[in-house]
Chains A and B, each alone.
Chain A
Amino acid sequence: MIEETSVLEAVNLGKRYRRTWGLQDCTLTIPKGRVAALVGPNGSGKSTLLRMAAGLSEPSVGTLRVLGQSPSPGIDDLRERVGYLDQDRPLYKSFRVAEMLRFGEMNNPTWSMDVAKNHLAHLDIPLRSRVSDLSGGQQAQVALTLCLAKQPELLLLDEPASALDPVAREDLLRLLMRQVADSESSVVLSTHALSDVAAICDYVIVLAHARVVLSDDTEYIVETHRILSVVGDDDLALPPGITVVNEQRSARGRSLLVRVGLPFNDDRWLVDRPTLEEIVLAYLRAGSPHRDGRDVDEIESGAR
């Protein structure tokens, strides 16, 4: 058997809705064993990509391979190996938690009742509770637990922690990380919270306007970006081998977030290391047609 080194591979992948593209020219590879973040404003294609990867929607153009196969609703093998959690976290509200678990067990051959019960015990969620009596945070935890108990090789999570208070959000992410530690599952999750990305994601994909604008290993991204600033000198040339991601000018000078190739030594520029959040925001701003647009602000507020 050939060892798979990537969990998701897209080549020129696109999804067209009636008049607009939900995702366009998407070429990316997500390596196995990673926790990858899909970041971008609403409508940038995150959910579109996740739904196609889960086999819930067909690509219009290009190719997509998930765990080495092309996903489609008919492939049972992939249905077992991939866990998908929808943005709306659907649960049967009138069910008790124990009934949701039995339902999960009946429908999933790879189900582990031990995994489900351990997670819920850790979260102090009684099996007798009715779903409708649980808080929003607990419902999100139950929905994720159902997904994790399938023990999938790949988890596709669409904004798993959105609309949760900070403690519930932290608990949910730790639940996910415990599973990754125990089972070595790969994860692709979409999020608006850049602080979550910095905490748990070792691979980052930035989408803007239905296109991929950045896709790489988190550490590599952080290592290869710098903030260069200069006071006064408007025409100072950039050192060689540098790509400008975003530039801000003020009356006093210039500040640029750049991608660096070779190490450089140019003491006319003041050099700083940006945080991952700063880098991602710079790409989002650069990918936005109206630079101070609402989309980017939305991302920023989501990070707090």
Chain B
Amino acid sequence: MAQHPSLTFRLDHQSGLAPYRQLVDQVRHAVRSGLLRDGDQLPSVRDVVTQITINPNTVHRAYRELEHQGIAEGRAGLGTFITSRSRAGSNASERASLDQALQDWVADARRTGLDEETIRELIRSALHQDGKVRS
């Protein structure tokens, strides 16, 4: 039987990001990092509202969004589970090295004197170029 994974949600009310988005991001992050795997059950809405001070509607909303994104699926009467489709790109070590490479790159860019906005613009244009090559 799939055990409840040790996922503890956190809310940052200063982030300007809607609470349901924060939950969605935290599940996505847990999947990418390997903390959550296929078939793992997400905490029930009641468990979440016992764990942190949050409106149950917000948790429902986040789980619906995760279902919509194909990361989780609701099983009637059982709860919400991580789907196998969520695996795409979840190879943890590969991801960690990409993450490291990007952090190094950002640090280099900062040393060169680029400001945050210019860095964002460079990343955006790189993604844009890549998209054009692929299509």
- Chain A residue with Cβ nearest B60: A181
User: Roughly how many angstroms separate A174 CA and B48 CA in the complex, as a whole number?
Assistant: 10
User: Roughly how many angstroms separate A170 CA and B19 CA in the complex, as a whole number?
Assistant: 17
Interface residues of A in 147-205 (CB under 8 A from B): 170, 173-174, 177-178, 180-182, 195-196, 198-202
Closest beta carbon of chain B to A141's beta carbon, Å = 14
Is A276's beta carbon under 8 Å from chain B?
yes
Closest beta carbon of chain B to A182's beta carbon, Å = 7
- How many A-B residue pairs have C-beta atoms within 8 angstroms? Tell me: 57
- Chain A residue with Cβ nearest B46: A181
What residues of B have a CB within 8 angstroms of the CB of A68 in the complex?
none
Is A108's beta carbon under 8 Å from chain B?
no
Closest beta carbon of chain B to A18's beta carbon, Å = 39
Known contacts A35-B55, A200-B54, A174 near B11 by CB under 8 Å: no
- Chain A residue with Cβ nearest B21: A219
Closest beta carbon of chain A to B13's beta carbon, Å = 4
Total interface residues on B, using CB and 8 Å?
Answer: 18
Q: Is the CB of A202 within 8 A of B55?
A: yes
What residues of A have a CB within 8 angstroms of the CB of B19 in the complex?
198-199
Interface residues of B in 86-106 (CB under 8 A from A): none
User: Roughly how many angstroms separate A62 CA and B127 CA in the complex, as a whole number?
Assistant: 57
What residues of A have a CB within 8 angstroms of the CB of B56 in the complex?
177, 180-181
Q: Is the CB of B13 within 8 A of A198?
A: yes
User: Roughly how many angstroms separate A272 CA and B15 CA in the complex, as a whole number?
Assistant: 11
Q: Is the CB of A178 within 8 A of B46?
A: yes
Q: Is the CB of B50 within 8 A of A174?
A: yes
Q: Is the CB of B49 within 8 A of A178?
A: yes
Q: Is the CB of A277 within 8 A of B13?
A: yes
What residues of B have a CB within 8 angstroms of the CB of A223 in the complex?
18
Per-position binary interface string of chain B over residues 40-67, scored 1 when its CB falls under 8 Å from any chain A CB and 0 otherwise: 0000011001100111111000000000
Interface of A is mostly: helix
Q: Is the CB of A199 within 8 A of B16?
A: no
Known contacts A222-B16, A274-B16, A276-B13, A199 near B49 by CB under 8 Å: no
Closest beta carbon of chain B to A42's beta carbon, Å = 23
What residues of B have a CB within 8 angstroms of the CB of A16 in the complex?
none
Q: Is the CB of A170 within 8 A of B13?
A: no
Is A34's beta carbon under 8 Å from chain B?
yes
Is A33's beta carbon under 8 Å from chain B?
yes
Q: Is the CB of A174 within 8 A of B49?
A: yes
Known contacts A274-B16, A275-B13, A276-B13, A33 near B50 by CB under 8 Å: no
What residues of A have a CB within 8 angstroms of the CB of B18 in the complex?
219, 222-223
What residues of A have a CB within 8 angstroms of the CB of B13 in the complex?
195, 198-199, 275-277
What residues of B have a CB within 8 angstroms of the CB of A291 in the complex?
none
User: Roughly how many angstroms separate A295 CA and B53 CA in the complex, as a whole number?
Assistant: 27
Q: Is the CB of A177 within 8 A of B20?
A: no
User: Roughly how many angstroms separate A275 CA and B18 CA in the complex, as a whole number?
Assistant: 9
Is B14's beta carbon under 8 Å from chain A?
yes
User: Roughly how many angstroms separate A53 CA and B12 CA in the complex, as a whole number?
Assistant: 33
Interface residues of B (CB under 8 A from A): 11, 13-16, 18-20, 45-46, 49-50, 53-58
Supplied contacts A34-B57, A173-B53, A274-B16, 5 more A-B pairs, CB within 8 Å: A177-B54, A177-B56, A181-B49, A200-B53, A275-B13
The 8 closest A-B CB pairs, nearest first, are: A181-B56, A273-B16, A177-B49, A198-B13, A200-B55, A199-B53, A173-B53, A181-B46
